[in-house]
Amino acid sequence: MRLSDFDFYLPDDLIAQRPLAQRGDSRLLHVGKGGALLDERFADLTRHIQAGDVVVFNDTRVMKSRLYGHKASGGRVEILVERLVGTRCAWVFLRASHAPRPGAVLHLPAGATAEVVERREDQYLLQLAGEGDFAGLLERHGLIPLPPYIDRPPEELDDSRYQTVYAAHLGAVAAPTAGLHFDDAMLARIGDLGAVMARVTLHVGAGTFQPVRVDDISGHRMHSERYVVPEDTVAAIRQARHEGHAVLAVGTTSLRALESAARNGELIPGGGETDLFITPGYRFQVVDRLLTNFHLPRSTLLMLVSAFAGVEPIRHAYFHAVAARYRFFSYGDAMLLEKNDGL
C-alpha cells in the first residue's frame, strides 16, 4: 500500500492541546465489525467488557526525558533521552547547530557534564561524568517530552496527566495515551465486572513520532522498542481463550507487545526488542478488541488500526470523527475497535 492511502484532512483546532478536567471525561467512538459507528462516552467502555475478559494495560512510565544544555563552545544543545543504559549512560537524540563529535563534553543542568561516547546514525551515546545517575538527573531537571503537535511548553499539570495512573516501570519517552483516560474509579469498575486486568511493559520510543518517509510503506523500518510480557498475563490470556472470553488491549503499545510475544504463533512470556510493523494484511494472534486514541495522518499507528479494524472502516470512522469534532491525539478522545479480519 502507499503512504497516501493513510492520509486524511484534520483541522488544527481538533488537536487537543490540554487534557480535559477529568481523565474519564473523554468521548468514545465505537467501531464495530463491518464498520458500524456508535458515539459514546468513555464511561460506556464497561458496556463492552464482560466477566472473564482480559484487559491488558501497558505499565511503562514516561521519563522526564527532555534536557537542555550547552557545548563547551557555548552552543545550545537540546537532548531527548531515548533509552537509559545502566545508571550513567543513555542513548539520546541531539539537536544543536553543529553535531558534536565523540569525545565532546556537554554541560547539563546543575553542573553535570556528559561525554559523547559514540554516534549511531541519528542517536548519540552519552556518559555522565562524576557522581550521580541519568535517571536522577532527568527526574530533577528534565521536562516531560510532550509530542511535537502540542504547541506549548510543558506545564506542571503534564507531570501527572501525561502519565497513566498505573505507570510503574520507568523507560518511555511518550505516554501510552489510550491509558490516560483511566482513573482509579474506572479500574475499580472493571474489576467489579469480573474482568481480569493484566499488564505488559513496552517502553515507547521517540520513533513513535518519526514520519514515514517512503511512499511504498513496505520499505519503512520501525525503531526498536523494549517490551516484557509477564507469565501471569500469558496465563490469564490462555485461560480466557480456553473459556471463550475476549482480550482487550489498552493502546497500540499493549497490542504490539502481545503480538510481538506471539510472533511464532503461540503467546509466550518474556521480552526483548521489537520492531514489529503492523500494516493491513497482518493476522492478529492475540487481541480481539483495541482501545486507542486517534492517530496522526500518514503514521504507522494509523496503519496499525487500519490493519485491525479494516482500511475502509477506519477511513470512514476518521471522517466521522472529524465531522463530529472529536478531539485528536495524545490528550484527545478514544476509539474502541473490534477486530475485523479480512478487510
Which tens digit of pLDDT belongs to each residue from 69-101? 999 999 999 999 999 999 999 999 999 998 899
* Any domain includes 281: yes
Q: Per the structure block, which three cell numbers stand in for 258?
A: 502481545
Secondary structure of residue 291 in the 3-state scheme: strand
Question: Looking at the structure, do residues 133 and 182 belong to the same domain, yes or no?
Answer: no
Q: In percent, how much of the chain has pLDDT > 90?
A: 90
Question: Looking at the structure, do residues 82 and 207 belong to the same domain, yes or no?
Answer: no
* Any domain includes 94: yes
Confidence of residue 174 (pLDDT cuts 50, 70, 90): very high
Question: Looking at the structure, do residues 298 and 165 belong to the same domain, yes or no?
Answer: yes
* Any domain includes 147: no
Task: Say how far apart CA 276 and CA 336 lie, in whole Å.
Answer: 22
- Overall number of domains in the chain: 2
Q: Per the structure block, which three cell numbers stand in for 126?
A: 552519552
Task: Name the more confident of 1 and 80.
Answer: 80
Question: Looking at the structure, do residues 186 and 288 belong to the same domain, yes or no?
Answer: yes
| pLDDT value of residue 329 | 97
| pLDDT value of residue 342 | 59
Question: Looking at the structure, do residues 54 and 72 belong to the same domain, yes or no?
Answer: no
Of 141, 169, 204, the last residue of a domain is 141
Measure CA 200 to chain center: 13
Question: Looking at the structure, do residues 104 and 249 belong to the same domain, yes or no?
Answer: no
| pLDDT value of residue 12 | 97
* Any domain includes 149: no
Question: Looking at the structure, do residues 105 and 198 belong to the same domain, yes or no?
Answer: no
Residue ranges making up the domain that contains 36: 3-62+158-338
Question: Looking at the structure, do residues 50 and 122 belong to the same domain, yes or no?
Answer: no
Alpha helices in 193-324 (DSSP H): 231-243, 252-260, 300-309, 311-323
* Any domain includes 296: yes
Tell me the CATH number at 103: 2.40.10.240
- Is the pLDDT at 343 greater than 90? The verdict is no
Mean pLDDT (whole number) for 276-297: 96
* Any domain includes 151: no
Question: Looking at the structure, do residues 47 and 80 belong to the same domain, yes or no?
Answer: no
* Any domain includes 50: yes
CB 184 within 8 A of CB 192: no
Task: Name the more confident of 213 and 343.
Answer: 213
Output the furthest CA–CA distance in the chain (Å, rounded): 65
Question: Looking at the structure, do residues 48 and 170 belong to the same domain, yes or no?
Answer: yes
Of 89, 110, 141, the last residue of a domain is 141
Question: Looking at the structure, do residues 84 and 215 belong to the same domain, yes or no?
Answer: no
Size (the chain), residues: 343
Question: Looking at the structure, do residues 203 and 295 belong to the same domain, yes or no?
Answer: yes
pTM of the predicted protein model: 0.95
Tell me the CATH number at 38: 3.40.1780.10
| pLDDT value of residue 122 | 86
* Any domain includes 242: yes
- Is the pLDDT at 252 greater than 90? The verdict is yes
Mean pLDDT (whole number) for 303-311: 97
CA distances from 118 to 79, 115, 123, 187 (A): 15, 9, 9, 44
The β-bridge relationship of strands 60-62 and 169-172 is parallel
| pLDDT value of residue 326 | 98
Mean pLDDT (whole number) for 250-264: 97
Per DSSP, which regions of the chain are E strands? 27-31, 37-41, 54-58, 60-62, 66-71, 76-85, 89-96, 105-107, 113-120, 123-128, 169-172, 196-202, 225-229, 247-250, 270-274, 289-293, 334-338
**At residue 205, what is the residue type?**
G
Of 111, 141, 171, the last residue of a domain is 141
How would you label 286-307 residue by residue, b for 16+ Cβ within 10 Å and e otherwise? bbbbbbbbbbbebbbbbbbbbb
Mean pLDDT (whole number) for 169-198: 97
| pLDDT value of residue 121 | 85
